[in-house]
Amino acid sequence: MPIQTVEPQRLYRQIAEQLRQLMSSGEFTVGSRLPAERDLATQLGVSRPSVREALIALEVEGMIEVRTGSGIYVQSTTRSKNALTSKMTDTPADWGPLEVMSARILVEAEVAALAAQNAQKKQLQTIRNGLQKMKLEAARDEVPRRGDEAFHEGIAQACGNSVLLDTVQRFWQARNGPLFERLGDYFENPASWQTAIGEHQAVLDAIEARDSSAARKAMQKHLKQAHKRYSASWRRAPAR
């Protein structure tokens, strides 16, 4: 069964389904190594981020194993009992992580700009508390996810738009889903946490200064850097 071109607008689950079919048909057998991410993207006619999302989904399902510095290997030609399926409703937990990050760059930059205009004193303190929680979690060598969520949700609450708040909350439902969790296992580490904390501080400083333009730029920079971290080469992905 030859690899078929996938339309660029198709979701990662459709890419994953084609790879599942290739594995179940014997094109890729248990123990064999899949083509590199770049090669798969070229053969499928899609972006590397879309391929990465598909591979993460297959790993969550127990069908492949990503060996950092070695490659991507077929572990099973059948899904585990707890596998995600293409028939699931499209809930935030099923959204592609890198696609979510791209959306966050657009939406949360404007949310931060609005927060710089509209934040009340109590709301500013909520944002500060979120950043402080991040710092405390990182100091305990924990993934500072709760503080991170509190920080971003605090900014959304301060922006003065309930629809944008709901949108950011849905982003975080996706962020806490299994695909994001697995991606974080590869690309989050103490060094990246400290970098992110510094980026969050720049956002907070701009909001406190009531500088909408600076807040927008700081949030864009942070989320673009986060997207870049999640898109790094598997070979350079730090071990946890």
Kindly report the pTM of this predicted structure: 0.82
Classify residue 53 as exposed, middle or buried by CB count within 10 Å of its CB (0-12, 13-18, 19+): buried
Full pLDDT tens readout for the chain, 240 residues: 567 665 544 568 889 999 999 999 999 999 999 999 899 999 988 888 889 999 999 999 999 998 877 889 999 988 765 555 444 456 888 888 999 999 999 999 999 999 999 999 999 999 999 999 999 999 999 999 999 999 999 999 999 999 999 999 999 999 988 889 888 888 899 999 999 999 999 999 999 999 999 999 999 999 999 999 988 866 444 444
Q: At what angle do helices 37-44 and 48-60 cross, to 10 degrees?
A: 110
Gap between the Cα atoms of 10 and 100, Å rounded: 15
